[in-house]
Amino acid sequence: MISRDQGIRAIFFDFGGVLLKTFDGVDHEAIEAEFGLEAKTLRKCVYRDSRYMDFQVGKCTYDEWTGSIREALTPLVGERASDVVDAFLQAPRSFNQEVLSLVKRLHGRYTLGIISNTTPGMEARLRERFDLTDLFDVRVGSGDLGIAKPDAGIFLHATKLAGLAPEQSVFTDDRADFAEAARGVGMHGFHFTEYARFAEDLHSVGVQA
């Protein structure tokens, strides 16, 4: 049953660009320098010229996605395309330590969650690669759910899992249009630009960060 008590009871975070320092936490410039790629080429091949949009809603397999990245890279680096893909997939992810510290302070006081446009298997990655599952009560990834932000359904699914009304929830995302989409279903949606600003946003709705 959905609780409709007044006040903020849940705080949801985007993963890339909020919990991670950048949209995917990878040092793209280092990989581009290693393989002689022009700036922003890696992002274009991985996310725009590949089947990433299909993969993030579960409409293709992991192998089909990575294969499409190799196809996009081959005209640029030839036989080294597989090496670039491996370097990207195995690269460490850099976290926003201020936000992680905030999550740890809020843990136990609020229901905490992740709403992320990401590839299938987010739950396993959070547990095995990042050791974050214990900090978040609700974990929703587009690749597993089959719908992605800004679709209203992904936000409503997350608040339903929390057992709360959207109005009792905060969501922050580094994309302004996704924060606006959260507001569209009744959540308090904030565009994440920096930690200090988000702390002020939380304070504005009564959350002591």
- pLDDT tens track for 39-76: 999 999 999 999 999 999 999 999 999 999 999 999 99
pLDDT in tens, 122-179: 999 999 989 999 999 999 999 999 999 999 999 999 999 999 999 999 999 999 999 9
Please indicate, yes or no, whether residues 133 and 196 belong to a single structural domain of this protein. yes
Q: Output the pLDDT for position 3.
A: 65
**Both 165 and 180 in a single domain?**
yes
Q: What confidence score (pLDDT) does residue 166 get? A: 97
Q: Do 156 and 183 share a domain, yes or no?
A: yes
Confidence of residue 208 (pLDDT cuts 50, 70, 90): confident
What percentage of the chain reaches a pLDDT higher than 90? 95
Q: What is the mean pLDDT of the chain?
A: 95
Q: Does residue 84 sit in the same domain as residue 156?
A: no
Q: Is residue 133 part of a domain?
A: yes
189 with 120, same domain?
A: yes
Round to whole Å and give the CA distance between 169 and 158. 10
Long-range contacts of 149-155 (CB under 8 A, 24+ apart): 149/115, 149/117, 149/173, 149/175, 149/178, 149/181, 150/177, 150/178, 150/180, 150/181, 151/181, 152/181, 152/184, 152/185, 154/115, 155/115, 155/181, 155/182, 155/185, 155/187
Domain that holds residue 48: 28-90
Q: Do 193 and 120 fall into the same domain?
A: yes
Residue 1 lies in a domain: no
What single-letter amino acid sits at 117? Answer: N
CATH of the domain at 106: 3.40.50.1000
Q: Supply the pLDDT for residue 5.
A: 57
Answer yes or no: do 106 and 79 share one domain.
Answer: no
Residue 51 lies in a domain: yes
Clarify whether residues 18 and 68 are in a common domain: no
Domain count, the chain: 2
Q: Are 111 and 15 in a shared domain?
A: yes
Q: Of 90, 111, 127, which residue is a domain's last?
A: 90
The answer to whether residue 2 is domain-embedded is no
Let me know whether 14 and 99 are in one domain. yes
